[in-house]
Amino acid sequence: MEEEMHTDAKIRAEIGTGCSPRGPGCSLRHFACEQNLLSRPDGSASFLQGDTSVLAGVYGPAEVKVSKEIFNKATLEVILRPKIGLPGVAEKSRERLIRNTCEAVVLGTLHPRTSITVVLQVVSDAGSLLACCLNAACMALVDAGVPMRALFCGVTCALDSDGTLVLDPTSKQEKVSTWLWKGRGLEAKGPESPQWDWLQEARAVLTFALDSVERKLLMSSTKGLYSDSELQQCLAAAQAASQHVFRFYRESLQR
Amino acid sequence: MKETPLSNCERRFLLRAIEEKKRLDGRQTYDYRNIRISFGTDYGCCIVELGKTRVLGQVSCELVSPKLNRATEGILFFNLELSQMAAPAFEPGRQSDLLVKLNRLLERCLRNSKCIDTESLCVVAGEKVWQIRVDLHLLNHDGNIIDAASIAAIVALCHFRRPDVSVQGDEVTLYTPEERDPVPLSIHHMPICVSFAFFQQGTYLLVDPNEREERVMDGLLVIAMNKHREICTIQSSGGIMLLKDQVLRCSKIAGVKVAEITELILKALENDQKVRKEGGKFGFAESIANQRITAFKMEKAPIDTSDVEEKAEEIIAEAEPPSEVVSTPVLWTPGTAQIGEGVENSWGDLEDSEKEDDEGGGDEAIILDSIKMDTGVEVSDIGSQDAPIILSDSEEEEMIILEPDKNPKKIRTQTTSAKQEKAPSKKPVKRRKKKRAAN
């Protein structure tokens, strides 16, 4: 059970939290990336966004099973493992989203009848997990030397109940309107009981994958309620944020 | 992916080096690789690096009903996963032997040694107890998984804090971490596994084999011990025959090693606790070295989103309005509705008698004509089993050239009439059946 330890502002430092109140302008949390940290995979990267951390390993281009072979391009496979428990449907759906994004940028036709496997391990989840997975996957693919037509990055926005946009939300900011049990005792009573509190954190959470060449949209995954103008606003904000992420990539690779 | 085989010359080289008491990475016979322990921001999360072997451990807890025959004890659950990134050979179906062996060893080491006080995990006897779940993920395989995994498990358990519970008569109160500081688990001792690899039928032994050495070893001896020199588990695998004094010698070495490793663990736990208390920075972000060329950090970056609204309005103003939604739902009966018409039923004469309407919610995929023909032919093959003549006919019929826009050319004269028309597959099949009835 991962508890929200970083809500206690007293003993947490700035780097450890990521949920310190953001001003009127949005901001991305502290980023860190380390490449080539594992010796077995062809490419590996660990990407940290605030407290969220994902480790990615890439094998490829490598031998592929005949059943999965595609005659004119590489077979891309994405595996996402959660930290606790067995992988479920949510992981499968995220795997598919990440795979679709990767397939759009990886030049698979240069390596036909091979397989490129991206394995992602969630090391800690404190909000914006899908975006962090995308970033880790991109850095790992670069480290492995897989040919790509562009880099890609993931950005998450959360929309408040009053329409305020928050970029790179923490898990507390991401919770899409939930009931909070304020009472005492282990037996959870139904929502009719007065001890429940309607905790409104986010009305909608949107995740976008953008490419580095023209900041076009590669993938979007949203949860919650929002209008079309809000969607366009979030997308524009994500594009502005992706500038910073790509600059981070460039500086990280230039070392 | 299949595991790359070890070449004969590499095997011979390794064995010769071991005979001359040399190891490829320059260690001595009884030397351990560097152990590095780093903690995450949440309690119970740690990454242990034994040389290049890396294991991630996470402990979580949940309130459940206890087992029927142990009503006052909590439940411990261990799970070691060999992630596919650890080695290319670790595919989901392929690693069962190794996985079972490691999991079993880990369970024996931690559960049977009673290192965790399960009685203290009881909340309400017979009703609610804590279930402690330890998940270990192998991230990189460079030999000696079991040692790294046992260290990660015990470090994560020592690091973990569970929510505080208080029982007053009948009322049980579960406090959130904000209300009351979470409580550590009560751990009696720390069992740690030490592995010994044997070569040349037990003549040479190495402590902490790396991946290459593991490939050429004859057998493995694993001793789980705590710092009080109590053996928690001992296992010898690989079919090597060891002498009594060899085993005793190994246990003495294990005692020394375990003492060193336990000291390291306690120091790491102490450091982490100190940093948390003083309000310093902690978590995996801090364990990434600053000066390494492959690592890079960036502080919080503010993003200017002031022009976001104008941009959005521009885009919406320029965009075309969405097209009219075409389909409207048709309500057949209360609870059954249909959107869209769907494609006409393309099964052959098998389904003739069962007059089927379009299935409800008819968003079937559009079936290509050629596939329609194919299924039509196959069904007719199944149907034509009464007389031998017909069987041979259907054999001939199997040689059909399928063209997506035309009906298949039937070779036999009986069904040449079906050739010209652009009719759906049902019609030619029907005609054939009529002819058979006439026979």
ipTM of the complex: 0.82
Q: What is the three-class DSSP state of B130?
A: strand
Per-residue confidence at B390, pLDDT binned at 50, 70, 90?
A: very low
pLDDT value, residue B183: 92
Burial of A177 (0-12, 13-18, 19+ CB in 10 A): middle
Which pairing describes strands A75-81 and A115-124: parallel, antiparallel, or unpaired?
parallel
Interface probe, candidates A5, A28, A30, A40, chain B, greatest B C-beta count within 10 A: A40
Dihedral angle over CA of B305, B306, B311, B312, nearest 10: 70
Helices (H), B279-387: 284-287, 308-318, 369-383
Domain boundaries, chain A: 31-178+200-254
Q: Which residue in this structure is represented by tokens 């990280």?
A: A252
Between chains, do B85 and A55 touch, taking CB under 8 Å as contact?
yes
Under 8 Å between Cβ of A67 and A101 = no
Return the higher-pLDDT residue of A89 and A174: A89
Dump the DSSP string for A131-177: HHHHHHHHHHHHHHT--BSS-EEEEEEEE-TTS-EEES--HHHH-BS
Between chains, do B285 and A79 touch, taking CB under 8 Å as contact?
no
Interface probe, candidates A3, A35, A122, A171, chain B, greatest B C-beta count within 10 A: A3
Position B373 pLDDT exceeds 50: no
According to the CATH classification, is domain A31-178+200-254 in 3.90.226.10?
no
pLDDT value, residue B400: 63
Between chains, do A48 and B288 touch, taking CB under 8 Å as contact?
yes
Average pLDDT over residues B109-116: 92
Return the higher-pLDDT residue of A250 and B295: A250
CA distance readout (Å), B256 to A138, B114, B251: 44, 22, 9
Per-residue confidence at B354, pLDDT binned at 50, 70, 90?
A: low
The residue type of A163 is G
Give the tens place of pLDDT for each residue, B60-99.
Answer: 999 999 999 999 999 999 999 999 999 999 988 888 899 9
Q: Which residue in this structure is represented by tokens 């369970």?
A: B107
Between chains, do A237 and B303 touch, taking CB under 8 Å as contact?
yes
pTM for the structure as a whole: 0.78
Per-residue confidence at B335, pLDDT binned at 50, 70, 90?
A: confident
CB burial readout A212-247, b (16+ within 10 A) else e: beebeebbebeeeebeeebbbbbbbbbbbbbbbbbe
CA distance readout (Å), A40 to A62, A147, B396: 13, 20, 56
Task: Name chain A contacts of B81, Cβ cutoff 8 Å.
Answer: 81
Asked, as a colleague might, if the bond just before A61 is cis with ω within 30 of 0, I would say yes
Task: Name chain B contacts of A5, Cβ cutoff 8 Å.
Answer: 41-43, 177
**End-to-end Cα separation, chain A, in angstroms:** 38
Max distance between CA atoms of chain B, in angstroms, equals 97
Q: What whole-number distance in Å separates Cα of residue B425 and Cα of residue B377?
A: 8
Give the tens place of pLDDT for each residue, A56-65.
Answer: 999 989 999 9
Query: What residues have CB less than 8 Å from B431, skipping those under 6 apart?
Result: B415, B417, B418
Task: Name chain A contacts of B83, Cβ cutoff 8 Å.
Answer: 57, 81, 119, 121
Q: Which residue in this structure is represented by tokens 């480790």?
A: A55
Between chains, do A5 and B43 touch, taking CB under 8 Å as contact?
yes
pLDDT value, residue B422: 44
Per-residue confidence at A25, pLDDT binned at 50, 70, 90?
A: low
pLDDT value, residue A8: 32
Per-residue confidence at A146, pLDDT binned at 50, 70, 90?
A: very high
Q: How many CB atoms lie within 10 A of CB B115?
A: 21
Between chains, do A121 and B299 touch, taking CB under 8 Å as contact?
no
pLDDT value, residue B389: 46
Length of chain A equals 255
Percent of chain B clearing pLDDT 70 (strictly above): 78
Give the tens place of pLDDT for each residue, B130-177.
Answer: 999 999 999 999 999 999 999 999 999 999 999 999 888 888 888 888
Average pLDDT over residues B354-373: 43
Between chains, do A237 and B305 touch, taking CB under 8 Å as contact?
yes
Task: Locate the chain B residue with the closest alpha carbon to A77.
Answer: B84
Q: Which domains does chain B have, with CATH numbers?
A: 22-280 (3.30.230.70)
Per-residue confidence at B384, pLDDT binned at 50, 70, 90?
A: very low
- Smallest Cβ–Cβ distance between A244 and the set B43, B84, B303 belongs to B303
CB burial readout B42-77, b (16+ within 10 A) else e: bbbbbbbbbbbbbbbbbbbbebeebeeeeeebbbbe
Position B419 pLDDT exceeds 90: no
What are B75's strand-pairing partners?
B131
Q: What whole-number distance in Å separates Cα of residue B291 and Cα of residue B298?
A: 13
